[in-house]
Chain A
Amino acid sequence: METPARIRNRVLQPMNTLTSFLTLLIFPAGVTLILMGMFYEWVDRKLVARFQNRVGPRWFQPFADALKLLAKEQITPAIVNPYLFFGLPIFALAGALTAALYVPLFGLTPPHSLTGDLIITIYLLSLPTMCIGLAGWNTTSRFSLIGATRALTQLFAYEAPFLLALLGPALVAGSWQISEINDYAIGHWLILSQPIGFIVAVIGLMGKLELPPFDAPEAETEIVAGALTEYSGRGLMMFHLAKSAELVVGLTLVSAFYLGGLTGIGSFLLKTIALLFFMAILQSLLTRLRIDQTVGLWWRFGAILVLAQILVTILLKG
């Protein structure tokens, strides 16, 4: 005999599955995120171009680039492990897309939320860099090897300070859950009370995305395209999309934590683009750092300053 609860389950289960699929593939993650990633990439390129006195690309350029790469032949070097070679771009993109499920994209409540999802998101965001590092090691090209070494060295440099910078808001909100921190931040502009944390978080995000001045892992004048030198076609496209998705997720995270929380689509667009504007200024103003200078900067200044700030936060809170 069927109980009402069972009937409800039987009727709603397929719908739940359908909703989950839609959430994953179309909205808010999946296709929407990829399109958003392209849009933000365009905004970034256009802003930097305008700052550099150039015209910059038209709005559909990132889309055209992705389409072009899809149509192109993918060359597989003879020496690589093919599973890794094809698998790594997929992992990178999957990591970045999954991370989006835990952040308040468009100012909406995240589709998935659990205690400690901040840690999950941070690790998922590191996945693309790890994949790029492995990809460089796998292709064994000399430029790729140096690029991979640099990418991973840089990862060790910014990861801890970046984590600490996100820890500050978590501490004052008293939660490890992103949606709860967002709710707390709506009433509190943490950029005012934790300015160092904000700066470190923004610069950490630029390090993660290998944007100038942290583009030593792909410094074209030295090592061509770094770890991705041997990639072409679909693989390269996926790595690019992973970067763009990571950009959106990272911007959402930092603006939710530090810029007074995200309440709706309006505040989402305003705050993330304002943040991107700030990052574009930094990109145009700064000269590329050598890898030893990057590491020095993070461990000598970034980590210590943000630790001091956390200490102050704990003391004041306690």
Chain B
Amino acid sequence: MSIEQKLQTAEQLLAPWNKETIRPEENRLDVVIQPEALHEAVSVLHEAKWGYLSAITGMDMGVEAGQLEALYHFCNGPAITSLRVRMPRNEAVVSSIADIIPPATFFEREIKEMFGIEVNGLAVTDHLFLPEDWPIGVYPQRADFTNEQAKAMEESHVDQMPEPGRVGENTFVVPIGPQHPALKEPGHFSFTVDGEIVTAAKMRLGYAHRGIEKAAESRSWVENLYLFERVCGICSHTHAMAFSTGVEQLAKVEVPMRAQAIRELVAGLERVHSHLLWLGVAAHEAGFDTLFMYSWRDRETVMDLLEQITGNRVNYSANLLGGVKCDIGEEQSKAIKEGLSYLETRIRHYLEVVTTDAMFLNRTRGIGTITAPEAERFGLLGPTARASGVMRDVRVEAPYGAYIRYPVSLVTETNGDLEARCVVRLKELLVSCFAMRSILDNMPDGPLTARMPRKIPAGETVARIEAPRGELFYFIKSNGGEIPARVHVRTPSLCNWVSVLEKAVGRQLADVPMLIAGMDPCFSCNDRVVTVVDSATQENWSWKRLREYGIEYYSR
């Protein structure tokens, strides 16, 4: 089915509630509906199996307009249908759709906390991102929010015990995080256990929340590129790529093929780096430290290659708006090929280890099994979904950039257990290595950058990029100025949480770290105003002060 046909089907399905239809871009359909009609409209789309809910974007149209908007984005291959719900600012209410689509609960909690859109029927109303003592009725992503409003409530419930230790005769709550050896980044889970068996699971995010989306609204397009690169340390390139792709779409700038090829190449190397890192962490969680040490040693190879190409090991900063910064010469091409051959032999070896090591299989085979229908229901993304046999990969479904010219094949497994997740990730790396070789062998000639305007034409766009953890979703809105009006980032980890919480119940506590690691969670991705407090003076530092300090520090 072509994109056009898909969008027509969606339009017909939504006809009864349709107030207005907008076609912002070739592959997108915006349908404006009443808040009351939302639940029904979503269930019709869901029953017709028209794509999956990819994200819910909240938007404040400003105090003058007096309106809030919530956009429910459904993706079906390259086609995107967005349900646009417009609400008055002072009484923004929608009904929850989590009963139809479980992962929506996290998106709904986000718009509730950040925009003050009341969601009726939400099962859990605790804060997901904001601190417990955040003042009531203050919503940080609204247009009229000021820093002065963000004073902590005097009567905070922080002093109260957040949760009971013992909840029954034999059951008690085991807190994991925010500081815990199993977590490499801060997050909080509480598992109720009866002996060794988990009977309930809860989670809380936001410990690494930096307000990047809000910060983006006060920075120029170029500055933002560097900001979004810092959403995540592991997939920084993917974030920069998603942001620049979105901005290029808005500006209608064609990026030169050579630049796109280099972007794909760096993304491929980043994937190798990310998956090897993941393999090590997963092995460590299972108590197999030897595999952890070896996979991290081999990861150094790819880190060195990235350093050789871009000059950086972590935030590579390879992208520019309209192209890339670094070229691949003969020498680098040779080094990458050598590195890839080494990595390929190692990856094949690890593939053998994770499928044949009896002791490791004890901890992975048949554990945390997610069937394909369950994966669909949980709205899983990325390798976690592919391990359950769900064909979901943006690079294949909706190829972008150089993936049209240098395609990758889809890797799926059917078992859906932890072993399948290991296998999918490793096989995916072999596919990536193959694609990288074909790029190096047929590197297109041409310039590295295209000219970008300083002001980006008004409009809205969606950029979807396959990050190592799954589909990364960027919604970018421009008012035609030098700074974006709104950038919404939905990272793959946020979609995958539901599966962990659901699957942990009934399992042993010992399997929980593996289940958490199994979906390769990235907390800083989830949580996106740095407050630096000088401990000597107890003074809050402004951005300017922090910048001056940085310059002072490095010029010493």
Binary per-residue interface labels of chain A (194-214) against chain B in the complex, 1 for a CB within 8 Å, 0 otherwise: 000000000000000000110
- Shortest CB–CB separation between residue B200 and chain A, in angstroms? 15
B287: contacting residue among A143, A215, A224, CB under 8 A: A215
Check: A65 CB closer than 8 A to any chain B CB: no
Check: A3 CB closer than 8 A to any chain B CB: no
Which of the listed residues B294, B297, B509, B511 has the most CB atoms from chain A within 10 Å of its own CB?
Answer: B509
Are the C-beta atoms of B288 and A222 separated by less than 8 Å? no
A9: chain B residues at CB < 8 Å are none
Check: A288 CB closer than 8 A to any chain B CB: yes
- Shortest CB–CB separation between residue B333 and chain A, in angstroms? 29
- Shortest CB–CB separation between residue A226 and chain B, in angstroms? 11
Residue on A nearest B183 in the bound complex, by CB: A221
Are the C-beta atoms of B287 and A54 separated by less than 8 Å? no
> Which one of B168-176, B379-387, B457-465 is at the A interface?
B168-176
B510: chain A residues at CB < 8 Å are 216, 219, 222, 290-291
B357: contacting residue among A145, A223, A287, CB under 8 A: A287
A286: chain B residues at CB < 8 Å are 288, 359
Whether A213 touches B297, Cβ cut-off 8 Å, given contacts A287-B362, A287-B363, is no
Are the C-beta atoms of A287 and B286 separated by less than 8 Å? yes
B294: chain A residues at CB < 8 Å are 52-53
Check: B188 CB closer than 8 A to any chain A CB: no
Check: A151 CB closer than 8 A to any chain B CB: no
A149: chain B residues at CB < 8 Å are 195
- Shortest CB–CB separation between residue A297 and chain B, in angstroms? 10
Check: B424 CB closer than 8 A to any chain A CB: no
Interface footprint category on B: 20 to 34
Q: How many residues in A have their beta carbons less than 8 Å from beta carbons of B?
A: 29
Check: B513 CB closer than 8 A to any chain A CB: yes
Whether A287 touches B293, Cβ cut-off 8 Å, given contacts A222-B182, A224-B180, is no
Are the C-beta atoms of B508 and A287 separated by less than 8 Å? no
Which of the listed residues B173, B283, B290 has the most CB atoms from chain A within 10 Å of its own CB?
Answer: B290
Binary per-residue interface labels of chain A (42-55) against chain B in the complex, 1 for a CB within 8 Å, 0 otherwise: 00000000011110
Are the C-beta atoms of B174 and A146 separated by less than 8 Å? yes
B284: chain A residues at CB < 8 Å are 221
Q: Give the docked Cα–Cα distance between A288 and B289 (Å).
A: 9
Whether A212 touches B165, Cβ cut-off 8 Å, given contacts A222-B509, A291-B196, is no
Task: Give A117-144 interface residues, CB cut-off 8 Å to B.
Answer: 142-143
Task: Give A255-302 interface residues, CB cut-off 8 Å to B.
Answer: 284-293
Whether A51 touches B181, Cβ cut-off 8 Å, given contacts A222-B512, A287-B362, A288-B363, is no
Task: Give A206-263 interface residues, CB cut-off 8 Å to B.
Answer: 212-213, 215-216, 219-224
A142: contacting residue among B174, B182, B360, B512, CB under 8 A: B174
- Shortest CB–CB separation between residue B86 and chain A, in angstroms? 47
Are the C-beta atoms of B359 and A287 separated by less than 8 Å? yes
Are the C-beta atoms of B293 and A224 separated by less than 8 Å? no
Are the C-beta atoms of B286 and A52 separated by less than 8 Å? no
Check: B471 CB closer than 8 A to any chain A CB: no
Interface of A is mostly: helix
- Shortest CB–CB separation between residue B512 and chain A, in angstroms? 7
Are the C-beta atoms of B362 and A289 separated by less than 8 Å? yes
Whether A213 touches B359, Cβ cut-off 8 Å, given contacts A142-B172, A288-B287, A290-B508, is yes
Residue on B nearest A288 in the bound complex, by CB: B287
Check: B466 CB closer than 8 A to any chain A CB: no
Binary per-residue interface labels of chain B (83-112) against chain A in the complex, 1 for a CB within 8 Å, 0 otherwise: 000000000000000000000000000000
Binary per-residue interface labels of chain B (477-519) against chain A in the complex, 1 for a CB within 8 Å, 0 otherwise: 0000000000000000000000000000000111111000000
Are the C-beta atoms of B290 and A219 separated by less than 8 Å? no
Q: Give the docked Cα–Cα distance between A286 and B363 (Å).
A: 11
- Shortest CB–CB separation between residue A224 and chain B, in angstroms? 6
Q: Give the docked Cα–Cα distance between A186 and B182 (Å).
A: 47
A224: chain B residues at CB < 8 Å are 180-181
Check: B285 CB closer than 8 A to any chain A CB: yes
- Shortest CB–CB separation between residue A286 and chain B, in angstroms? 5
B287: chain A residues at CB < 8 Å are 212-213, 215, 219, 221, 287-288
Q: Give the docked Cα–Cα distance between A142 and B175 (Å).
A: 8
Residue on B nearest A284 in the bound complex, by CB: B290
- Shortest CB–CB separation between residue B45 and chain A, in angstroms? 40
- Shortest CB–CB separation between residue B41 and chain A, in angstroms? 44
Are the C-beta atoms of A288 and B288 separated by less than 8 Å? yes
- Shortest CB–CB separation between residue A295 and chain B, in angstroms? 11
Q: Give the docked Cα–Cα distance between A284 and B286 (Å).
A: 13
Task: Give B276-328 interface residues, CB cut-off 8 Å to A.
Answer: 283-290, 293-294, 297
B360: chain A residues at CB < 8 Å are 287
Are the C-beta atoms of A142 and B165 separated by less than 8 Å? yes
Residue on A nearest B173 in the bound complex, by CB: A142
Are the C-beta atoms of A221 and B359 separated by less than 8 Å? no
B508: contacting residue among A145, A221, A292, CB under 8 A: A292
Whether A288 touches B508, Cβ cut-off 8 Å, given contacts A142-B172, A221-B181, is no
Residue on A nearest B289 in the bound complex, by CB: A52
Residue on A nearest B283 in the bound complex, by CB: A287
B509: chain A residues at CB < 8 Å are 146, 222-223
B285: contacting residue among A143, A145, A221, CB under 8 A: A221
Residue on A nearest B166 in the bound complex, by CB: A142
Q: Which 5 A-B pairs have the closest CB atoms?
A: A288-B287, A221-B182, A287-B288, A52-B293, A287-B359
Give the interface of A toward B (CB within 8 A): 51-54, 142-143, 145-146, 149, 212-213, 215-216, 219-224, 284-293
- Pairs across A and B, CB under 8 Å, 24 listed: A51-B290, A53-B293, A53-B297, A142-B165, A142-B173, A142-B174, A145-B172, A146-B509, A212-B289, A213-B287, A213-B359, A219-B287, A221-B287, A222-B509, A222-B513, A224-B181, A284-B289, A284-B290, A285-B290, A286-B288, A287-B288, A290-B363, A290-B508, A291-B510
Other contacts beyond A146-B174, A213-B287: 15, CB < 8 A: A52-B289, A52-B293, A52-B294, A142-B172, A149-B195, A216-B510, A221-B181, A221-B182, A286-B288, A287-B286, A287-B357, A288-B286, A289-B359, A290-B510, A292-B508
